[in-house]
Structure 1
């Protein structure tokens, strides 16, 4: 059984004490494909180190996270462009709009989101979208940019059934992780109405650990709890969930 974690921050300092052991637990549990989103330029070197250590398992994205869009965002976008010109990445991410913590830089977030979508189109790459309290703002830009050259993943999807269908209409897969196991997560109530071809798995580790680990540090080995929940929702075996969602990730990332 091959399970794909389409979104994990393996370079997080929360793994500094036991990263090798954490990775081995994931590999032992069948999680063997890890897609790593960028945050800003400060994580680039750590991402490259991870790739060098796990060349068969770790696949990198490049991008500027919306909550890291500050006054220096143009310099950060320049870094994204320079890295993309140097080597291969598998997606532009994570990018998007986040209005949960701070609305101060909404305009700059919108500019950064658009610019990075254009980069994704230039390099024929998928985008991985971070959206928090910003569905309307995200959809407005996706509507303007929609086309066969726009595709990717709506990371950590927590919207409504209608928002799920709208995201899918823009060629986005839904990134499903620990939230689907929460009693108040709500997405489990309509997910069986979404064809499994639109779903990929993720942890967003070290964040959003599934039940029964909620509130603790998340890690990729816990993805099996998400697989088991989806198997229950869809009435399929865990092996079928793993196989279909991994194939979906290959369609998006090309590997």
Structure 2
């Protein structure tokens, strides 16, 4: 099996003491492809170093994370644009709107989201959406910019069945990770109604560790816990789920 983690922050400081050991644990379990979202310019060099160390396994995105949209967001967007012009990336992400921590920069987040969607279309790339407490605001932007060039992944999907269907209508796959194992996660109650063809696997490590590791540091190896939960939800074998979700990721990222 070749499992794909479509969203993992392997360059995070949380892994500084054991990064290679942690990545090897995932590789040993068949997790062979890691898609790496950007946060802001301060992490770019770390991402490049990670790619250099694991050129056959690590695939980089470029973007400005919504929680890092601050006073200097135009400088950060210029960095994103400069990087996209210089070299190959596999998506523009993670981008979107986050109203959980702070609503101060909502207007700037909306502007940055639209700007980066335009960049994705320019370079014929998918987008990877971060959405927290902001489904209405995200959908409003997507409605405004939707066309045949808009596609990607709704990362860490935590919405309702209705919101899942609406996300899919914008040509988005749903990124399913540790939340599906949470007792209060709720998505496990309806996910079987979403065809597997619309699902990709992710961890969002080091965040959102699945049960039985909830509350601890997440890592890409724990995607196997997500797989076990999806096996119960869908009634398919792990092998089938891995094949379909990896094929879905290939369709999105082009590899």
Alignment TM-score, normalising by the size of structure 2: 1.00
Count of residues paired in the alignment: 255
Instruction: Measure, in 1, the Cα distance between the counterparts of 2:214 and 2:128.
Output: 24
Question: 2:37 matched to 1:37?
Answer: yes
Instruction: Measure, in 1, the Cα distance between the counterparts of 2:96 and 2:239.
Output: 32
Question: 2:127 matched to 1:127?
Answer: yes
Which string of whole-angstrom CA distances, capped at 9 and with x for unpartnered residues, describes residues 28-64 of structure 1? 0010100000000000000000000000000000000
Could you say what the CA RMSD is over the residues aligned between the two structures, in angstroms? 0.3
Query: Mapping of 1:155-174 within 5 angstroms?
Result: 155-174=155-174
Query: Mapping of 1:41-56 within 5 angstroms?
Result: 41-56=41-56
1:105 aligns to what?
A: 105
- CA drift at 1:147: 1.2
Question: 2:227 matched to 1:227?
Answer: yes
Which string of whole-angstrom CA distances, capped at 9 and with x for unpartnered residues, describes residues 60-96 of structure 1? 0000000000000000000000000000000000000
Instruction: Measure, in 1, the Cα distance between the counterparts of 2:250 and 2:93.
Output: 16
1:139 aligns to what?
A: 139
Greater than 4 Å deviation, 4+ residue runs:
none
Q: Which secondary structure does the structure 2 equivalent of 1:232 belong to?
A: helix
Question: 2:157 matched to 1:152?
Answer: no
Q: Which secondary structure does the structure 1 equivalent of 2:96 belong to?
A: strand
- CA drift at 1:230: 0.4
Instruction: Measure, in 1, the Cα distance between the counterparts of 2:147 and 2:79.
Output: 27
1:15 aligns to what?
A: 15
Which string of whole-angstrom CA distances, capped at 9 and with x for unpartnered residues, describes residues 199-239 of structure 1? 00000000000000000000000000001110111101111
Q: Which secondary structure does the structure 2 equivalent of 1:7 belong to?
A: coil
Give ranges in structure 1 of 5+ residues lacking alignment.
none
Instruction: Measure, in 1, the Cα distance between the counterparts of 2:14 and 2:106.
Output: 29
Alignment TM-score, normalising by the size of structure 1: 1.00
Give ranges in structure 2 of 5+ residues lacking alignment.
none
Q: Which secondary structure does the structure 2 equivalent of 1:241 belong to?
A: helix
1:201 aligns to what?
A: 201
1:76 aligns to what?
A: 76
